[in-house]
Every structure is written in C-alpha cells, then in structure tokens.
C-alpha cells in the first residue's frame, strides 16, 4: 500500500494541463488612462482644446492675411 500512496502523491504533483490565469498587481494602461482622465476633469480638457484650436486658427488667419497684404504692397522707390 505504501507504493500505491507514493504513486498517487507523485501523480498529484504534476503540472496542470491548462496554463494558470495571471493576475497583475498594477493596473493596465487603459485603466490608468481612465483614472487620470477622471481625476483631471474632462470638461477642462475639452475647453482647453477648443481654446487652443481657435487661438491657432485666428493667429494663422491673421498671419496669412498679413502675408497676402505685404505681397501686394508696392514699395515706391525714393528719388
């Protein structure tokens, strides 16, 4: 009977056929991004993006208009 018990003990010590599920201690990248967005306040981010876009558009339009005006400006030579 001792041999039978030893064989059963060795049979139970085999590694499982299916891999074990791995759980991580650290949150995933997606979870960290969601947490950061919630903490920072999404409304402020949207407002800043709108202000930045409108500012760049207005400055770009102003510079383009200035460039076109200077392109058509004629310089009168001095006598």
Q: Is 45 domain-assigned?
A: yes
Residue 56 clears pLDDT 90, i.e. is over it: yes
Helices and strands, number each (H, E), in the chain: 3, 0
If you average pLDDT over each of 6-20, 32-46, 48-62, which comes out highest?
48-62
CA dist 66 to 36, 62, 70, Å? 42, 6, 6
Q: Is 48 domain-assigned?
A: yes
Q: Is 15 domain-assigned?
A: no
| Percentage above 90 pLDDT, the chain | 24
pLDDT value of position 2: 55
- Inter-residue contact 69 to 62 (CB < 8 Å): no
Q: Give the structural domain span for 66.
A: 30-73
Number of domains in the chain: 1
pLDDT value of position 54: 97
Tell me the pTM: 0.41
């Amino acid at each position: 009977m001792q041999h039978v018990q030893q064989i059963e003990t060795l049979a139970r010590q085999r590694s499982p056929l299916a891999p074990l599920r791995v759980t991580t201690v650290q949150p995933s990248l997606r979870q960290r991004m969601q947490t950061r967005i919630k903490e920072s306040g999404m409304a402020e981010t949207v407002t800043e993006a709108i202000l930045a876009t409108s500012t760049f558009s207005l400055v770009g339009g102003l510079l383009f208009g200035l460039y076109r005006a200077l392109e058509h400006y004629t310089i009168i030579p001095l006598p």
